[in-house]
Homo-oligomer: A and B are copies of this chain.
Amino acid sequence: MAKAAVLVEFGQPLVVREFPTHFELAPGEAVVEIEMAGICGTDVHIWRGELPVPLPLILGHEAVGRLRALGPGVTHDWTGQPIQPGDRVTWASSVVCGECYYCRIKPQPTRCLHRKAYGISYNANEPPHLRGGYAEQIYLRAGTALFKLPDDIPTAAVVGAGCGLATAVHGLERCPVHWGEAVVVQGTGPVGLAAIALARISGASRIIAIGGPSHRLELAKHFGADTLIDVATTTAEERRRWVAQESGGFGADVVIECAGVPDAVAEGIELCRDGGRYLVLGQYANTGATQLNPHWITRKQLELRGSWGFEPRHLWRALTLLRDPYWQQRFASEITHRFPLEQVNLALETVSKWESGKSVLVPG
């Protein structure tokens, strides 16, 4: 049996339950003993019932663990490295069908019509039940992109980076930052910090982070932001003027939205210079229409790009970045709070109050 924290009813405390672990592994499958699981901001939204998910649900879509058993044919990880029980691994949170309109014809694999994500899409009542990271073990489906972690990458760096880094890798692939460009990053949560890191290594001449609270702005500075703007103590007009002043007078070359608040998009459009680019990376929740002036898209001849989730190759790129001790230290430093599985509700509360950098669960 293995313990897991289950969301039974939206807004109610998660319940720790035990699940059977005697399932035989089919070809391509694997089972992993979880060492550390991240709590993502999306988990808070799910907990509150703001995303369409099945209940009961074992949350958790970012984790590191050790392979306990491998199904027939699972001999190598996604990159071709040999794997065996005991190896430390992470994995892409989503599995796609490979056959639908978006997998094949207009290839947009992250928009696969049958994509399912661990910790989000699986009903915990259905065997093998353990399909989320808030647990002692997780059963991985055939087709899951597994990555054996080299010894020089600490677990905390991988979970600290979480899904935010791979999401930002995908986003900045669709909307690259070029050397010398002035960049605004809206939001200083995990995606925002990862975007700051990638803008930094892409050679941004100036990175302006808009976010908060202050301990997160400190992290933004640590990740490479040159200018810190606290969203709680400034007006939109003050921010617009500040950004213009720091970026040649007319606005940023690139703005990256990682705030997750719909209003941020209306503001971000105004922070771009004419002909600038705007990556809308954080609008994961559908909270309906908001106020936005499309005139500026035409008039400023802007380029806006969206990006959803990530593919395994983006996680691969994220892991190559985490080979660098400089970035390991930073991403690991996001983790300020560690909780045992039993304190999952305290952990969620900490995240929802923005009290932590990043909170993680350490089962066992």
Contact = CB atoms under 8 A, between A and B. Distances in A.
Interface of A: 78-80, 99-102, 104-108, 110-111, 172-174, 176, 178-180, 198, 201-203, 205, 248-250, 253, 262, 265-266, 273-275, 280-308, 312-313, 316-317, 320-321
A104 B312 contact: yes
B297 A301 contact: no
Given A203-B203, A298-B308, A105 B265 contact: no
Contacts of A285: 295
A276 to B, nearest CB: 8
B179 A275 contact: no
A299 to B, nearest CB: 6
B286 A299 contact: yes
A306 B301 contact: yes
Contacts of A295: 262, 283-287
Tell which of A173, A202, A296 has the most Cβ of chain B within 10 Å. A202
Given A79-B105, A284-B295, 19 more contacts: A80-B99, A104-B313, A105-B248, A106-B273, A108-B274, A179-B201, A266-B289, A280-B294, A280-B298, A282-B298, A283-B294, A283-B298, A285-B295, A289-B293, A291-B292, A297-B305, A298-B306, A301-B305, A303-B305
A275 B102 contact: yes
A297 B201 CA distance: 26
A306 B312 contact: no
Contact of A307 (B282, B284, B289, B298): B298
Contacts of A297: 265, 280, 283, 304-306
**Which of A102, A288, A291, A306 has the largest number of chain B CB atoms within 10 A?**
A306
Nearest to A175: B303
Contact of A293 (B111, B288, B308): B288
Contact of A110 (B79, B281, B301): B301
Contacts of A290: 291-294
A165 to B, nearest CB: 12
Contacts of A253: 106
B305 A111 contact: no
Given A274-B102, A283-B294, A304 B304 contact: yes
23 contacts: A79-B104, A104-B316, A105-B248, A106-B274, A108-B274, A111-B301, A179-B201, A179-B202, A180-B321, A205-B320, A282-B298, A283-B294, A283-B295, A284-B299, A289-B293, A290-B292, A290-B294, A292-B292, A296-B306, A297-B304, A298-B308, A301-B305, A304-B304
A262 B307 CA distance: 24
Contact of A306 (B282, B291, B299): B299
Given A106-B253, A287-B295, A304 B301 contact: no
Central interface residue in A99, A179, A293, by most chain B CB within 10 Å: A179
Nearest to A249: B101
Max chain B Cβ within 10 angstroms of own Cβ: one of A289, A298, A320 = A298
A293 B286 contact: yes
Contacts of A265: 294, 297
A317 B180 contact: yes
A205 B324 CA distance: 10
A111 B275 contact: yes
Nearest to A106: B275
Contacts of A104: 78-79, 312-313, 316
Contacts of A308: 298-301
